[in-house]
Amino acid sequence: MAENTNDVLHVEGGKPLNGTIKVRGAKNFVSKAMVAALLAPGRSVLRNVPEIRDVHVVSDLLRLHGVSVDVDGANGVVTIDASHVQLADVADVDTLSGSSRIPILFSGPLVHRLGEAFIPALGGCAIGGRPIDFHLETLRKLGATVDKEHEDGIHITAPDGLHGAKIHLPYPSVGATEQTLLAAVLAEGKTELSGAAIEPEIMDLVAVLQKMGAVISVDVDRTFRIEGVRELKGFTHTSLTDRIEAASWAAAALATHGDIFVKGATQPEMMTFLNVFRKVGGEFDVTDTGIRFWHPGGDLKPVAIETDVHPGFMTDWQQPLVVALTQANGLSIVHETVYENRFGFTKPLVQMGATIQLYRECLGSLPCRFQQRNYKHSAVIFGPTPLTGRDIDVPDLRGGFSHLIAALAAKGPSNVQGISLIDRGYADFRGKLAALGADFD
C-alpha cells in the first residue's frame, strides 16, 4: 500500500456506531446550483452547503472564469457573484481537469454569457461508462458547434445563439437532463425534453432556475417543457438534504449493530430506501429534525434489490447496503441496472470474509441495458459471514465509504487507504465517526 499517512485511516472495528450526526445539502445538487449561478449577472446565495471537496472544485472553476465566490463552510453558505464572466486560461482550466465531471455543465451557461466554452478532459469515479455523448448531442440540437478535435479538450461555440429544440434521451441520464435545463432556459424558443431524469436533486435545480426567472413545466411522463427567456437573475436557495449520505450512515448503523440519528435527513426523498431498510430488518423513526436508524437486534433478513433511476432504488444506495447484507441470514441479490462496473468494490469485502458472487446475467426483472453484455452487474450475497479487518484501497467515492463501513463492522484492525476520495461526498466524515464513538486514527 502507498505510504501517505494523511490519506490512510487506521480503524479498529467491531464496535457499534451510536450517536447523532448532521447531514447537509446534496452533493449532486449543490454543485449544479453553483453552475446555474453562471447564467445570471448578479449575486446568488446557496444555503445548507456541505463542506466537501466538490464544492471547492466548482468554486475554483467559477473563479477561473472571473466569478466571485465566497464559501462560508462553517455556516454552509456559498455566495456567488457572476456579474463579470470571462474566458478562463486553457492551462488553468486544465489543471482542474480530472478533478470532477462538473466542467461539462459549464457549456450552456458559458455559451450564453460569452458565446463560447472550453471543456477540459473529464474525471470522476471509475464506476462504469458515463459518456458525455448525450451532453454534446443535446448542445448540438440546441444549435451549438462542438469541436472535439481540440488538443486540450472540447471547444463549444454557438455562432447563431442557442435555440429551442425537441430532445429525447434514450436513457434518463441525470447529467444530460441537467445539461439541457442549463442550456435551454436562455435559448430562444421552446425546448421539449422527453425521457428525462426526475431525481429530487434535478427537481431542486428546476426550483432554482424558476427562482431565477426560468419557465419550466414538468409532465408525469418524464417530459420537461422549457420556454426560453431573455434574461435571468440571481437566486437565494436552501439545498435539499443529501439522501445518499443519509442512507450511507443508515447502512453503517445496520452493519455495526448501531443506533444513529441523522439530523437533517428527510423522508420524502428516501421512501424507497426506507422500505428496503425495513425489509432487511432495520428500524427507523422519522422526526421533524431527522431520521433515527438502528439495528434492533436479532437476524437481518435477505432481500432482492434492483437499482434504477428515480423513483427506483438509487444506485448510490446499494454499495453501503451490500456491506450490511453480508450480515443478513440468507441469500440476497442485487441487480445493478445503472452502472455496469459498480461491483468492483466487493473484492475487498470477499477478502475480509464476505461471500459474494458476481454474475453477468440479469438477476432481476427490470429492463436492463447490460443484458447479454460482458458486464458483471448482478451480485449474490450469502450471509451472515463475519468480517475480519485488513488493508483496503478505496476505489471510488461510494465504494470507499462502503469499505469504511466494512472496516468499522469487522473484527480487528483495518487500514483504509485513499480516503481523500471520500472527502468528495462526505463532509467531515472523520468528525462524524468520532461523534459516533468509532475507534480510528
Name 225's bridge partners. 192, 217
Q: Known binder of ligand: residue 27?
A: yes
The ranges of the chain with pLDDT < 50 are 1-3, 123-130
Full-model pTM? 0.93
Is 362 considered catalytic here? no
The CATH architecture to which 27-238 belongs is Alpha-beta prism (3.65)
Residue burial 101-112, b: 16+ Cβ < 10 Å; e: rest: bbbbbbbbbbbb
Q: What is the pLDDT of residue 371?
A: 85
Q: What is the pLDDT of residue 184?
A: 98
Q: What is the pLDDT of residue 246?
A: 98
> Which triple of cell numbers denotes residue 27?
452533493
Extents of the domains making up the chain: 8-23+241-436, 27-238
Residue 207: φ, ψ to 5°: -60, -40
Catalytic pick among 36, 111, 125, 406:
125
Q: Known binder of ligand: residue 338?
A: yes
Do 27-238 and 8-23+241-436 have the same topology in CATH? Answer: yes
Please choose, from the candidates 99, 168, 170, the residue with its C-alpha nearest in 3D space to the C-alpha of residue 131: 170
Q: What is the pLDDT of residue 127?
A: 40
Q: What is the pLDDT of residue 367?
A: 85
Q: DSSP 3-state assignment of 380?
A: strand
Q: Known binder of ligand: residue 316?
A: yes
Q: How far apart are CA 68 and CA 43, in angstroms?
A: 9
Task: Look at phi and psi of residue 287 and say left if phi exceeds 0, alpha if psi is from -120 to 50, else beta.
Answer: beta
Please choose, from the candidates 146, 167, 166, the residue with its C-alpha nearest in 3D space to the C-alpha of residue 158: 146
Q: Could you tell me the fold of the domain covering 8-23+241-436?
A: UDP-n-acetylglucosamine1-carboxyvinyl-transferase; Chain (3.65.10)
Q: What is the pLDDT of residue 396?
A: 86
Q: What is the pLDDT of residue 124?
A: 44
